[in-house]
């Protein structure tokens, strides 16, 4: 499942809810790998008060689906969940959740990492930071 959200969400509640909604997978997975990305209050040496995330509706979801499908072709996982925020995000709020369920840990861990790395480099999201006295567009993601 892929979801773009304009409001804050609890990643752990989302995990429990999603896992409870997939009863046909009960007993089939032995590993769940989870990545939760939160907003930092700093970037490039500056204090950041808020972040504005923009996306291209439709195109963003399509690209996220392609990323998940491509990853599944290399790592045969059972289920995945990708939730990403857009709009105004404050420090310590969750920006992204990526979770993968599989029979074995190596598949779950590798697929999760592949999805988040591809999302960071390919998904059409744009970030504007609110600093103390100005705003700026983020030109590139910070390394790993």
The one-digit pLDDT tens for each residue of the chain (144 residues) are 999 999 999 999 999 999 999 888 889 999 999 999 999 999 999 999 999 999 999 999 999 999 999 999 999 999 999 999 999 999 999 999 999 999 999 999 999 999 999 999 999 999 999 998 899 999 877 766
Measured distance CA(117)–CA(87) in Å, rounded: 21
Angstrom distances, CA of residue 73 to CA of 17, 79, 94: 26, 13, 28
pTM of the model: 0.94
Measured distance CA(89)–CA(52) in Å, rounded: 6
In our burial notation (b when 16+ CB lie closer than 10 A, e otherwise), range 130-142 reads beeeeeeebeeee
Q: Which domains does the chain have, with CATH numbers?
A: 2-19+29-137 (3.90.1170.40)
Residue 39 phi, psi dihedral angles, 5° rounding: -80, 130
Residue 46 phi, psi dihedral angles, 5° rounding: -115, 150
* The pLDDT value given to residue 144: 64
């Amino acid at each position: 499942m892929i979801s773009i959200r304009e409001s804050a969400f609890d990643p752990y509640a989302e995990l429990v809810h999603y896992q409870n909604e997939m009863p046909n997978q009960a007993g089939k997975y032995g590993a769940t790998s989870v990545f939760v990305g939160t907003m930092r209050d700093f970037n490039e040496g500056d204090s950041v008060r808020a972040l504005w995330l923009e996306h291209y509706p439709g195109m963003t979801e399509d690209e996220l689906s392609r990323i998940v499908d491509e990853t599944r072709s290399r790592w045969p996982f059972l289920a995945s969940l990708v939730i990403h925020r857009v709009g105004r995000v404050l420090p310590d709020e969750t920006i992204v959740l990526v979770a993968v369920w599989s029979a074995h840990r190596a598949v779950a861990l590798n697929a999760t990492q592949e999805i988040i790395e591809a999302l960071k480099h390919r998904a059409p999201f744009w970030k504007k930071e609110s600093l103390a006295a100005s705003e700026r567009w983020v030109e590139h993601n910070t390394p790993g």
